Structure formats: structure tokens, C-alpha cells
């Protein structure tokens, strides 16, 4: 069997849908149209950079009407002059060099577009166009027609642009400038040769070095002073205090040395120290940005909704302008932005966003519609009950729990150790100073500075960020994304795991289908197959793939009642497929199982039962986790699955059913009050409160672009059975940190013993310090990579 792939988008081609054009095969007319557009404009280079780089253009009829609204355009544009408008659009489909190429050649496709520039890491394109020749709406239509539909969301609406913070880069630039030049200028003195000319110019060199050290000392290191000062004011002693103190002491000591001609000073070591510390910070920041997590819930909702005017007209309004009593028009696949009542006769709403259930819920006129649902089917009309801020979802989100920033509650190890470290170090330094001052003043100063310098708080400051940064990166490579480094530490402390059932331990993708009822002949199956072909309903699609291949038959009459079922006539046979009420068989509440009933020629045949399939590896995962953790399964469903779960999972597992979102939150709170450290693993947005309440909230997602802002980490569903590995890895990460602390303490003890006994000149101390930093960093990187390799 030869499976051909579409030349444009790479998807498999269904023989019946195949379109051949210009000797190339496409899966649909959409892809062929995009190819046509490209070849007519000499843009077929698009296909040279990557195979099948395209995407099928989606139908966007009417979706972008709101781009006619002046107010909205105003907010979206970055720059507005008479003949030039500039807009920055986020395009999720950007994924390869072909995308960059075509998006930067947009001016060939449309008159009026001046130029465009792609920012690949952010998946944005910045288009500059002439509003007199084309409009924003036309550009968006163009992008959609070639398969690069932009994603326009409320995010673009926030007043005041976020200012990009580049201060760290400036500081590094200045620090390196000073460091490099001071090193060069220090060369003459390094060789300690008592030549005449050196003595002549020594003063010049030294004061020049002093002048160069000033910008680094004052500007580049300012972050540390500010942080140290803040922590002193709040009574805590954090890791930045010894660093700030060390830098200040070095500076003062070196200045004194120069003024009184006691020596060369340590400006080279000081600026070197500042530079390397800032570099470490930059590395950390880049790692965090890479796994960036700043999504406001606002970006889930479409920015403008179609409002129906009393006289029957339609206008586009912004979400925030929706008021109680407004009538809204919701189209196919659009999100319902607010709570309201359904006016249209019926609607089929997909609440997978909220409940995790992909099966759409049927609503009839007068039913309440909740925000966050996705409408499927014909357009519907609804009346608004609450404006955006009061909706159910925002209520859950504005639950106090969300506003708590977990980092404040959690004291990281570095701060813990620095509580002892800093006072101990200061005490030691002063003691030694006083001891030596009675013996020899010069040595006393030497000893004081040597102690502060060699003590290398830098190892303490860098260990945690480097280890955790590396761990975050490695986990990210394995599709396990954490919000920030603190989560790794918290993971290591968890002792109870709470799993949501639907969507977390069950998968929406594989649904086992079982037929119950009178056996169907192959003729009847053929009828069913042909009937299902015409329906786009998720259950129809799955059932269609489930029933084996049959010859095509002509369907004489076809009618799909949205959310209910399908009615078709083939060869004079009447086929009815659908819910129990549609087939008019029983009025049983199908709450326990999802079923599609079959009726042929008026005779009820049976039903297809859709059983949720549990994720692969679930049993082994729970087995291995049960050894170290308490396990709980919380479910919003009824307890129809209790028997199965009790068999599958270890006996210690607690199973709780029928939990509403608030009850899940309360359950976790209860566990925490009993002293447990809880990690919640869920997926739907209505877990959000529980996810935030737990010490660590993990969200499993089939499609990593969709997640809840409350969670501390996202895991791709394919990695579900590796949860055990990640938990162990986080513990190993902490082990690595402790080990490297141990190593650096060893360093410190050895170095300090030399320093206290007066055998360590500050110069040697200053050389040892960067050396120890490098050793610690390499050690930490090697160990974290080693642990990651252990269980692949």
C-alpha cells in the first residue's frame, strides 16, 4: 500500500480527496490553492528549504470582522502614520526556515505591504504596510489563505507595552569592558620586576586601573548591593550579602593599597568576579526565558465578539464592553466568552477547556452556557448573564489561592545556608582580624580580606542556579516544562501525589469502542460506515475509523441533528445513529457511559460503548510510585470506574469520586493541614484552583499549547509514564546541589585555614576563587547530566 503525502502540508492523502495539480499531489483543494498562489508569484522557493512546510488554510469566513473596528486596530498597531502602519502578529504555525522565507517575502503577494520581519523564537512577524493600499484585515486574510493564520488575542490589548529589560546585558558589557582593560593594564605589575620605568609609571597605571574599576564597581555590581541592603532591612541574611561585602572589601582594600602604595590592589580579581557572577545570572535568565511561562488567562478568550443589535444588525465589540443583557452571536469553533443563556434552539458546546471532557454537551434554548466552552455547529445566539469579570472561570481564578506567590512560602537551600554562612564568615573574619592586629597590622588586614575573598560565597550563589538551570533545560528536552527553578526543589519535597482521573490517567485520544447488542451483518455495517462518512462529530469520526472498510454506497438522504445523531437513507434502508433520546429507544440517562445507539429500519440493534482508555504504563507507574508516595485519585466523574481502578492500582491508593472543583481544592487543603506535601496532577482548567492550592501543580496536556496558568509545570501527555523518573531526578538534583555545597565547603575549609594562619596572600586567594567557581560549575553540570542519563 503506497501512502502518498501531500506536497504542501505532508499529511497523508485520502485517495478520494486527492487533488493533482502541476504534477504534484495534494490532500485537499486548500493546499492546492496555496501552492497555486505561490507558483503564480514565483514563490515556489518556499518548498526548497523544508519538505512539506505548509498548513491547510482554515475557513475564516466572518471571523475577522472585528478588524474593521477602528478602536481595535488602534490597539493592535505598533506604529501609525499616514502612509505607514506597522503591526506585530503572532503566528503559531511558524516552525521552520520556509516559514521565515515566505513571511519575509509577503510583499510579493500583496501590493501595499512594504516589508516584513520574522522573529523566530517568539513566532512573530512584524509587517509594515501602507494603509492606503491595503488594510490590516486584508493582510490577515492573506496570511490565513496561505496557511499562516495569526493568533490575535486579548494579550495585544493590555495598555502599556512591556518594556524589554536589558539592564543585565548593559551591566555585563560594562563589566567585561572594565575587566578586560584592567587585565591588560595589570600586566606590567604581574611580573614584579623592579625596573626603573615601571616605577616611573606605576602611579599612572594604578590610578587608571582604579578609574576603570569604578564603573564596574558602581554600576555592574549594583544589583548585589540593592539585594543585600533589602535583605538586611528585612532581617534575613541572603546569599548576596557576603558577595556584596566581598566586593566592597576588595574595592576598599585595593584603594587603600594604591593610596598608601602598599601594593597593586585587587581590581583585576574584583572586576573578574563581578563579570563572572553576572554571566551566571544571564545564563539563568536565558534558561528561564526559554521555558517562558507568562500566560495571562486573558489570552484564551477571543478579543472581540459579535454583538447583535436590537434592529438585527451585527457589530464587533471588545470582550470588556460586553454587558448584561447583550445578545451575542457565537460561530462554529468560537469560544463562549461569558456566562449566558442560550437563545437559539439548541447548541453543542465543547467544554474540554473547562471539564476535560471532549464530548460536546448538548444544550437547548434557555439552558445556561458557561464561559470557556467552544461552540460547535451552526451559529448560535446567546444572552449575556454576567460580564467578563464575574464569570464562573474568573471566580475560580480569582480565588485567593491564585494570588499567593508560592516562592515566598518556600525558603530555598541557598538562603538557608547563607543564614549560617554569612554571620559565621563575618565572625571568623573579625575574630582573626582582632587576633592578628596584636601581632602584626599588615598581616591583620591581609588576613581579613583573604578570609572574605577566599570564602567564595560565589560557589553557593552559583551552584543552585546552574544546577537547577541545567535540570530545567534537561527536563524541557524531555517535554516536562517547569515554571521556574524553585519548582524542582519543591518537587523533591513532595510526599503525596493526587491524580485527576479524566484526561490525566485516561487519555482522550484512544477510546476503546465496544459494541453491545444484536450482531450486525456486514451489509448493515456497510450502511453504518457510509452513514458515518458524512458526519464530522468526534464520536462519528472515531466510530468511522473503528468500523472496517466497505464499498462506498450512495447516500440518498442525509441529515445530521447537531448533538443528537444522524439520520440517513441508503438503498431504501433507514439508518439512525445517535444518542438514546434520538433513537427513541430508552430514556436512560447515559451518564455512566458514552453510547452511540444504532437503529436500522426502525429496529433497535444495539449500541457502541465508548470506554475511556487508561494511559499506557499507568499500572507500573503507580506500582513504583506507591513505594515512596501516598497516592490519591480524585475524579469529577461518577464512580462507575471504581471496580476497574481498584484492580489496576495498588491497594494503598485512595479513590474519591464525584468531586466538584471546589471539593478538589478543599481535599488538597485538608491533606496539607495534615502535614502532607501535595502534588496535584490534572489537566482541565477547572482543576485550576486545586492545582494552585497544592504545593506543586502539574498539568498534563495532549497539546502543549493549551494549559492552565495556575500550574507550576506542564508535561506532555506522552511522557506520563516517566513521572517516576522526573520525581527521582528532582531528588537527585537536590543531591547534586548538596554534594557541590560539600565540595565548596571543603574548598573553604582548606582555603580558610591557610588564610587564618596568615599563609594566604589575598592575591592567591583571588586566583583560587574563580578557579573554585569553574570547578563547581563543571562538577554540577556533569553530575546533573549524569543523573539524567541513568534511566532513559
Residues that bind another protein (CB under 8 A): 42-43, 45, 97, 100-101, 104-105, 108, 117-122, 164, 166, 169-170, 173-174, 177, 180-181, 185, 197, 200-201, 204, 208, 212
CA–CA distance, 468 with 475 (Å, rounded to integer):
10
Contact 590, 572 (CB under 8 A): no
Minimum separation from the CB atom of position 465 to another protein (A): 21
Q: CA-to-CA distance for 321 and 382, rounded, in angstroms?
A: 16
CA angle 172, 175, 181 (to 5 degrees): 135
- The residue (of 180 and 650) whose beta carbon lies closer to another protein is 180
User: What three-state secondary structure class fits 747?
Assistant: helix
Nearer to another protein, 120 or 293 (CB): 120
Query: Residue 212 CB, nearest distance to another protein (Å)?
Result: 8
| Strands, E assignment, 549-620 | 557-561, 565-570, 573-578, 594-600, 603-614
Q: How far is the CB of 184 from another protein (least distance, A)?
A: 8
Residue 48: exposure state from Cβ atoms within 10 A (0-12, 13-18, ≥19)? exposed
- Shortest distance, CB of residue 476 to another protein, whole angstroms? 16
Q: How far apart are CA 245 and CA 396, in angstroms?
A: 46
Q: Which is nearer to another protein, 101 or 157 (by Cβ)?
A: 101
CA 639, CA 656: separation in Å to the nearest integer? 8
696-701 vs 678-682, strand pairing mode: parallel
Q: How far is the CB of 287 from another protein (least distance, A)?
A: 15
Q: 207 vs 786, which CB is nearer to another protein?
A: 207
Using the minimum distance from each CB to another protein, give the nearer residue, 116 or 540.
Answer: 116
The distance of closest approach from Cβ of residue 78 to another protein in the complex, given in angstroms and rounded to an integer, is 12
Shortest distance in whole angstroms from residue 100 CB to another protein: 5
Measuring CA to CA, how many Å separate 108 from each of 39, 41, 54, 132, 366? 12, 7, 18, 17, 51
Q: Tell me the backbone φ, ψ of residue 682, rounded to 5 degrees.
A: -145, -170
Select 200 or 536, whichever has its Cβ closest to another protein.
200
Q: How far is CA 38 from CA 106, 128, 417, in A?
A: 11, 21, 62
β pairing state of 24-26 and 368-369: unpaired
What is the nearest approach in angstroms of another protein to the Cβ of residue 168? 10
Closer residue to another protein, CB minimum distance, 170 or 420? 170
**Secondary structure E strands in 486-582:** 496-500, 506-517, 557-561, 565-570, 573-578
d(CA 7, CA 23): 10
Return the number of the residue (108 or 616) whose C-beta is nearest another protein: 108
Residue 309 three-state SS: coil
Cβ of residue 176: shortest distance to another protein, in angstroms?
A: 9
Residue closer to another protein by CB (options 44, 133) is 44
Question: CA torsion sign, 663 to 664 to 665 to 667?
Answer: positive
- Cα–Cα dist 487/734, whole Å: 12
* C-alpha to C-alpha distance for 267 and 181, rounded to whole angstroms: 11
- Residue 204 or 430: the one with the smaller Cβ distance to another protein is 204
Shorter beta-carbon distance to another protein: residue 208 or 666 = 208
Q: How far is the CB of 177 from another protein (least distance, A)?
A: 5
Amino acid at each position: 500500500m503506497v501512502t502518498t503525502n501531500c506536497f504542501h502540508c505532508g499529511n497523508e492523502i485520502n485517495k478520494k480527496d486527492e487533488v493533482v495539480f502541476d504534477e504534484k499531489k495534494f490532500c485537499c483543494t486548500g493546499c492546492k490553492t496555496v501552492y497555486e498562489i505561490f507558483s503564480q508569484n514565483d514563490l515556489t522557493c518556499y518548498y526548497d528549504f523544508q519538505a512539506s512546510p505548509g498548513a491547510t488554510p482554515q475557513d475564516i469566513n466572518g471571523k475577522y470582522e472585528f478588524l474593521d473596528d477602528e478602536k481595535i486596530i488602534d490597539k493592535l498597531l505598533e506604529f501609525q502614520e499616514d502612509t505607514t502602519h506597522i503591526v506585530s502578529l503572532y503566528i503559531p504555525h511558524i516552525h521552520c526556515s520556509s516559514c521565515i522565507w515566505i513571511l519575509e517575502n509577503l510583499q510579493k503577494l500583496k501590493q501595499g505591504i512594504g516589508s516584513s520581519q520574522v522573529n523566530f523564537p517568539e513566532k512573530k512577524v512584524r509587517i509594515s504596510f501602507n494603509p492606503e493600499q491595503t488594510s490590516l484585515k486584508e493582510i490577515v486574510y492573506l496570511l490565513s489563505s496561505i496557511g499562516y493564520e495569526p493568533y490575535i488575542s486579548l494579550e495585544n490589548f493590555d495598555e502599556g507595552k512591556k518594556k524589554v529589560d536589558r539592564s543585565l546585558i548593559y551591566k555585563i558589557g560594562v563589566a567585561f569592558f572594565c575587566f578586560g582593560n584592567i587585565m591588560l593594564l595589570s600586566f606590567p605589575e604581574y611580573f614584579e620586576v623592579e625596573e626603573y620605568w615601571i616605577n616611573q609609571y606605576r602611579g599612572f597605571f594604578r590610578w587608571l586601573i582604579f578609574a576603570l574599576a569604578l564603573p564596574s564597581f558602581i554600576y555592574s555590581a549594583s544589583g548585589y548591593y540593592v539585594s543585600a541592603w533589602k535583605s538586611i532591612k528585612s532581617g534575613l541574611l541572603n546569599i548576596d550579602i557576603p558577595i556584596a561585602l566581598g566586593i566592597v572589601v576588595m574595592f576598599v582594600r585595593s584603594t587603600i593599597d594604591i593610596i598608601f602604595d602598599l601594593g597593586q590592589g585587587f581590581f583585576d580579581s574584583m572586576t573578574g568576579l563581578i563579570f563572572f557572577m553576572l554571566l551566571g545570572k544571564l545564563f539563568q535568565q536565558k534558561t528561564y526565558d526559554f521555558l517562558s511561562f507568562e500566560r495571562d488567562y486573558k489570552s484564551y478568550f477571543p478579543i472581540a465578539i459579535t454583538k447583535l443589535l436590537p434592529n438585527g444588525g451585527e457589530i464587533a465589540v471588545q470582550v470588556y464592553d460586553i454587558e448584561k443583557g447583550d445578545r451575542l452571536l457565537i460561530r462554529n469553533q468560537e469560544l463562549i466568552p461569558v456566562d449566558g443563556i442560550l437563545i437559539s434552539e439548541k447548541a453543542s458546546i465543547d467544554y474540554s477547556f473547562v471539564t476535560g471532557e471532549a464530548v460536546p454537551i448538548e444544550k437547548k434554548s434557555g439552558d445556561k452556557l458557561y464561559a470557556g466552552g467552544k461552540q460547535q455547529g451552526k451559529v448560535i445566539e446567546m444572552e449575556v448573564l454576567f460580564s467578563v469579570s464575574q464569570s464562573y472561570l474568573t471566580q475560580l481564578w480569582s480565588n485567593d489561592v491564585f494570588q499567593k506567590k508560592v516562592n515566598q512560602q518556600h525558603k530555598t537551600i541557598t538562603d538557608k545556608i547563607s543564614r549560617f554562612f554569612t554571620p559565621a564568615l563575618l565572625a571568623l573574619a573579625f575574630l582573626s582580624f582582632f587576633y592578628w592586629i596584636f601581632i602584626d597590622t599588615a598581616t591583620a588586614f591581609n588576613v581579613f580580606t583573604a578570609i572574605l575573598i577566599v570564602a567564595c560565597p560565589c560557589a553557593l550563589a552559583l551552584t543552585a542556579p546552574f544546577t537547577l538551570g541545567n535540570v530545567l533545560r534537561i527536563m524541557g528536552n524531555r517535554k516536562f516544562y517547569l515554571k521556574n527553578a524553585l519548582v524542582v526543589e519543591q518537587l523533591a519535597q513532595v510526599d503525596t501525589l493526587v491524580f485527576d482521573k479524566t484526561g490525566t490517567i485516561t487519555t482522550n485520544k484512544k477510546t476503546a469502542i465496544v459494541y453491545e447488542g444484536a450482531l450486525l451483518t456486514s451489509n448493515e455495517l456497510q450502511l453504518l460506515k457510509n452513514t458515518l462518512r458524512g458526519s464530522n462529530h468526534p464520536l462519528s469520526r472515531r466510530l468511522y475509523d473503528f468500523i472496517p472498510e466497505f464499498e462506498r454506497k450512495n447516500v440518498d438522504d442525509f441529515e445530521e441533528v447537531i448533538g443528537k445523531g444522524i439520520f440517513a437513507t441508503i438503498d431504501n434502508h433507514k439508518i439512525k445513529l445517535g444518542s438514546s433520546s434520538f433513537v427513541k429507544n430508552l430514556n436512560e440517562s447515559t451518564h455512566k457511559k458514552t453510547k452511540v445507539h444504532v437503529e436500522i429500519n426502525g429496529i433497535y440493534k444495539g449500541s457502541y460503548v465508548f470506554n475511556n482508555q487508561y494511559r499506557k504504563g499507568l499500572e507500573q507507574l503507580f506500582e513504583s510510585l506507591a513505594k515512596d508516595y501516598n497516592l490519591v485519585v480524585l475524579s469529577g466523574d461518577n464512580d462507575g470506574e471504581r471496580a476497574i481502578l481498584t484492580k489496576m492500582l495498588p491497594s494503598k491508593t485512595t479513590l474519591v469520586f464525584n468531586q466538584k472543583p471546589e471539593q478538589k481544592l478543599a481535599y488538597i487543603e485538608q491533606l496539607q493541614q495534615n502535614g502532607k506535601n501535595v502534588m496535584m496532577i490534572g489537566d482541565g482548567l477547572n482543576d485550576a484552583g486545586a492545582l494552585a492550592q497544592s504545593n506543586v501543580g502539574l498539568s498534563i496536556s495532549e497539546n502543549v499549547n493549551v494549559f492552565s496558568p495556575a500550574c507550576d509545570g506542564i508535561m506532555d501527555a506522552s511522557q506520563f509514564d516517566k513521572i517516576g523518573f522526573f520525581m527521582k531526578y528532582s531528588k537527585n538534583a537536590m543531591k547534586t546541589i548538596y554534594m557541590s555545597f560539600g565540595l565548596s565547603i571543603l574548598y573553604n575549609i582548606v582555603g580558610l585555614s591557610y588564610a587564618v594562619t596568615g599563609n594566604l596572600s589575598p592575591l592567591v586567594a583571588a586566583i583560587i576563587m574563580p578557579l573554585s567557581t569553574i570547578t563547581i560549575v563543571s562538577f554540577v553540570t556533569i553530575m546533573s547530566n549524569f543523573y539524567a542519563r541513568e534511566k532513559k
